[in-house]
Every structure is written in structure tokens, then in C-alpha cells.
Chain A
């Protein structure tokens, strides 16, 4: 699957990591709704770290829609609130 990190790049990631990403996504949504900013950003960073470490960079000349889109690592909680729906960024 193709994953985009906003403000960064698109990565090709094995879909076996989807469960882990989903778990981190829920973690982000929960902490955001509880106003736990530090916990929120640690979930986000773990998610981004997983994508960068396990995935490979998509050739910039390739034009492909992403299966998942995750926020940029320096997103503020305010921006995140605007970006998130109740289900998080990964649709169930």
C-alpha cells in the first residue's frame, strides 16, 4: 500500500503494518480528544517512524494515489483537530 506523510513523501509499505498503524491512529485520536498533547505527538511520531523505517520511498516521478494519508510530524494539536474526523485518518 501507498502511504503519504503530509509535507514529506509517499512511501510504499507492506500492508501487514496496517494493524499497527490503525492502533497508533486510534491512540492519536484518543489522546487528542483528551487534550493530551504530549501523548498525541508521541503516537504520531511512532507512526511516522514506522512508515519511514518499514517503508520505501515512492519514486517522485510516479503518480499514484495514497491508500493512507498521515499528518506531518510537526502538526499542531489545533491543526490536527481540524484534520481529524471521529474515525481518525485511516478509514475503518
Chain B
């Protein structure tokens, strides 16, 4: 498969020296692609890490809300919060695996870039030497060997980059789906004002506050009343 790609590449130029220059240009292009690939993987990874952090902070608030709901005797609300917590935890687990996968891809691409850089630099030096001594019959052999060697390297690197790209694309799609899921409220942060649980909890809380105030007031008011009655009784006696 790789050998076939290489021979068509070699046939493209009549003057082998042109082949050397053309090949070198292609190598530089590929090196740029590898660098772009690394940047893409890093971006995708950062995005997933942000989502993970968001979900982790959700878990904390969901836990607090569930506890609060339990203390208020609202098991129904606590159940919703705990269910959402479970969903978030499952998402976090899958995100952790995806982040590790991208991390692995990044390491591989960084190594690939290092290897290709060394080869491209070696090729550049070799190319100039071969061109200078082109009249020699052995130059043709050297050209074929270098170009075949570097083309094989390029085909290999090309495949690695393509693989990484496919992975980042699918991660991007998944991470977008997760964003939508968070936005649609399935995994919404329950501390935000719009959520049902939070709303009900704050309603209960404010009701409680009202009740509490009322209780205090009731305690104050009867004392006064009682005092008034006693005073009246005393006065009557």
C-alpha cells in the first residue's frame, strides 16, 4: 500500500532533482499539518477538561441540594438531585477516559513531530549534497533511496495525523452533544435560578422563614396579651 504511493510519487518528475525539491516542500507541509494536529488535540482536550470541571462542581451543588431537600422532608426533590448527580458522575467517567485517549494521541503526535523534524532536516542536507554531485551516476541511486525513505516516513506520519484528526473530530462532536445536554437542562446546574429543585427549595426556605418569623411574632404577641390580661386582673383585684 505504502510502496504504491511512493512509486507514483517518484514518477511525477522527470528530473530527479525536482523530485527532491518537491518532496522537501511536501515534507514541510506535512510538518505544519502535524503541528496543527497537535494544536487541535490540545484544544479538544482542554474543552473536555472544562466540561469535566463544570460537571464536578455540579456534583458538589447537587449533593448540597439533596441534603437540604432531605432536611426539609422533601425526598422527591432529593431524588431528582441525586439522579442528576448520578448522570453527571457517569459523564465525568466517560470524559476522563476520553481525555486520557487524547492525552495519548498528543504524546504520539509530539513524538511523530520530533521524528519527522529530524528526518526533514537530514533530508534537506542530503538533498543539497546530492544536487551538488548530480553528475555522478550514484546520485540517481541516492535520490531514489532518500525519496523512497522519506516518502515512507511521510506516508506513516500522514496516517498518524489523519488518525488523530478523526479522533478529535469525533471528540468534538461528542463534546458538542454534551454541551447541548448541559444547556437543555438534562444535566443543568441546579444552583441556577431557573431549575425546579432550586426554585422549590427556595420557596420552602422562604416559607420556613415566614413561619419562623410568625412563630417569633406569636411568641411575642401572646406574652404581651397575657401580660395585659394579668395586669387587668391585677388591676381588677
- Which residues of A approach B to under 8 Å, CB–CB? 4, 6-7, 9, 60-66, 69, 83, 85
Contact = CB atoms under 8 A, between A and B. Distances in A.
B152 A4 contact: yes
B156 interface: yes
A61 B1 contact: no
A83 B163 CA distance: 14
A-B complex: 9 closest residue pairs judged by Cβ atoms: A60-B118, A63-B149, A61-B122, A65-B148, A65-B149, A60-B115, A64-B149, A7-B160, A61-B118
Does more than half of chain B's interface fall in helix, strand or loop, or is it mixed? Answer: helix
Interface in B128-151: 145-146, 148-150
Main secondary structure of the interface of A (DSSP, over half): loop
A83 B114 CA distance: 26
Interface residues of B, number: 23
Interface of B: 1-2, 108, 112, 114-115, 118-119, 121-123, 126, 145-146, 148-150, 152-153, 156, 159-160, 163
11 contacts: A4-B152, A7-B108, A7-B159, A7-B160, A9-B115, A60-B122, A61-B119, A62-B122, A63-B119, A63-B122, A63-B145
A10 to B, nearest CB: 8
Contact of B145 (A65, A69, A85): A65
Contacts of A4: 152, 156
